[in-house]
A = this chain, B = another copy of it.
Amino acid sequence: MQALRDRLARITDLNHSAAILEWDQETYMPEGAEESRARQVATLRSFSHELLTDDKTSRLLESASPESEIDIDLIRVTRKDVEKATRVPASLIGKMAVASGRSKGAWQKARATNTFSIFAPHLANIVDLTIEHAEALGYQDTPYDALLDLYEEGMTTAEVTRVFADLKDRLVLVVKTIAAAPAISNAAVHGNFRHDAQWAFGVQVAKQLGYDFHCGRQDTSAHPFSTAFSITDVRITTRVDPTFFNPGFFGTLHEAGHAMYEQGIDMALEGTPLADGTSLGIHESQSRLWENLIGRSLPFWKHYFPQAQKAFPEALGKVDLNTFYRSANTVAPSLIRVEADEVTYNLHIMLRFELEQDLIRGKISVEDLPREWNDRMENWLGIRPSNDSDGVLQDIHWSLGAIGYFPTYALGNLMSTQLFDAAKRAIPDLDSKTERGDFSDLLQWLRKSVHHHGRRKSSGQILKDATGSDLSADSWMQYVHAKFGDLYGF
């Protein structure tokens, strides 16, 4: 058992080292280092893959006698990891790496010049390799199950389809209702929000929510992200727009939510493969909970608005709480997913989920994609992209070969309200605590119910144990009706 533990610790160290190199790449690395850094990360990742899939690991997994509950979980989870890693032949991994390397550049060029045809052959190749990948991984019902399982272990296409189907019609209706209602002005979140003041305010609030800067830090990067190198080193990045409050502040809360999840993992799991988020959906539930259910709530701003006014006197000096709260929560159908509001966001995801499945099943071809994208956008959101850069070319995911990833964003949204409802049942005065800027009970509840377990519990098990229910769209729809019905009067 100790030999197995040692081996898994080394694999974990290699993975975390690669993550450190990637963090540096996005934050501080000089431009000239691009090529050497790609090589170094690839070396660490392939070492880790070799160690994991080596016969010795399998033999240790077979012969090890677990000495604790953690050991039992360690063996169970690692067996699955090994199985997934060994099912895919090295030649296919190599082909996928080459394809996504080339494809990323083509996608960048296609997006910059608004020319889908530059990206199309690369995407077609990626779709073919993805199907090959799914076949290698194996699945019960449909190849898409295998892809989904990479990001949300145990989730099936059938279940996502069921939940999304339940959601789609209701949500399209809400979006139409809001679009027909009088618009709310978002003027209050635009203005002079000085860079330094945004940074300081974001850090201060993230600290008060519970993100521990003794074991974390925030830096600037082009695309905000959160990354963990150990339970005691979980970092976030952000990007500040000095004329617009939302991206910097809510981005910081979002990433801090991810980071608090990893900071809250049981220290007994430190250095093992169990010390990680259990799925992307659960991860996103944590970021969305802090960003939206706390950060965009009225109780939260009852506490923080006076401080925000002090931090941004030019922009907020003459704004009142209610105007600001409404301004931070406007809903409007828009073309770009990452800029979408709370309500419309899930429709962007469902669009991608459907298109990915249609591509994998061969129901549509890559050539059809721009038209299909635009048609569905128009159907669901009532707006049509005037060019592909604002449509099918907007996201990096497909160029990287990450097909099956998108659904986890929406699953995270749904899980966030399910968990939040359970937290409110456990902490009846949660709103008044939020109004006082006291988040300790909520964090403690999340620690106990979600964070602590790392990968020891599956996403489904965490949800079930914490909320008593399975995944469902009901809680989220109720939240949307309550909050946005109030704001938009329906």
Contacts and interface: CB of A to CB of B under 8 A. Distances in A.
Interface stretch (A35-43, A332-340, A467-475): A35-43
A271 B235 CA distance: 29
A255 to B, nearest CB: 15
A interface secondary structure, majority: helix
Interface in A117-157: none
A36 B270 contact: yes
A214 B30 contact: yes
A239 interface: no
Interface in A1-59: 9-10, 13-14, 16-18, 20-21, 24, 28-33, 35-37, 39-40, 43-44, 47
Interface pairs A-B: 7 shortest CB-CB: A36-B230, A33-B233, A32-B215, A13-B43, A32-B232, A32-B214, A13-B40
A216 interface: yes
A212 interface: yes
A219 interface: yes
A14 to B, nearest CB: 7
A230 B33 contact: yes
Interface residues of A, number: 39
Contact of A37 (B18, B24, B43, B233): B233
Interface in A240-286: 270-271
18 contacts: A17-B18, A17-B40, A24-B24, A28-B28, A28-B219, A30-B214, A30-B215, A30-B233, A30-B235, A31-B214, A32-B212, A32-B215, A32-B233, A33-B215, A33-B233, A36-B230, A39-B271, A47-B47
Given A17-B17, A32-B212, A219-B28, A43 B230 contact: no
A490 interface: no
A304 to B, nearest CB: 25
Nearest to A28: B217
A229 interface: yes
Given A40-B13, A40-B17, A229 B33 contact: yes
A30 B230 contact: no
Nearest to A275: B36
A40 B16 contact: yes
Contacts of A229: 33, 36-37, 40
Q: For A20, A214, A230, A270, which residue has the most chain B Cβ atoms within 10 angstroms?
A: A20
A389 to B, nearest CB: 29
Contacts of A37: 229-230, 233
A138 to B, nearest CB: 31
Contacts of A270: 36
Total copies of the chain: 2
Given A20-B20, A20-B24, A24-B24, A13 B32 contact: no
Contact of A20 (B21, B230, B233): B21
A233 B17 contact: no
B215 A13 contact: no
B21 A39 contact: no
B13 A39 contact: yes
Given A20-B21, A24-B24, A47-B47, A213 B39 contact: no
A193 to B, nearest CB: 23
Residue of A9, A21, A30, A37 with most chain B CB atoms under a 10 A cut-off = A30
Contacts of A18: 17
Nearest to A32: B215
A219 to B, nearest CB: 7
A214 B39 CA distance: 18
A29 to B, nearest CB: 7
Contacts of A232: 30, 32-33, 35-36
A12 to B, nearest CB: 9
Given A20-B20, A37-B230, 5 more contacts: A10-B43, A17-B21, A17-B40, A30-B213, A40-B230
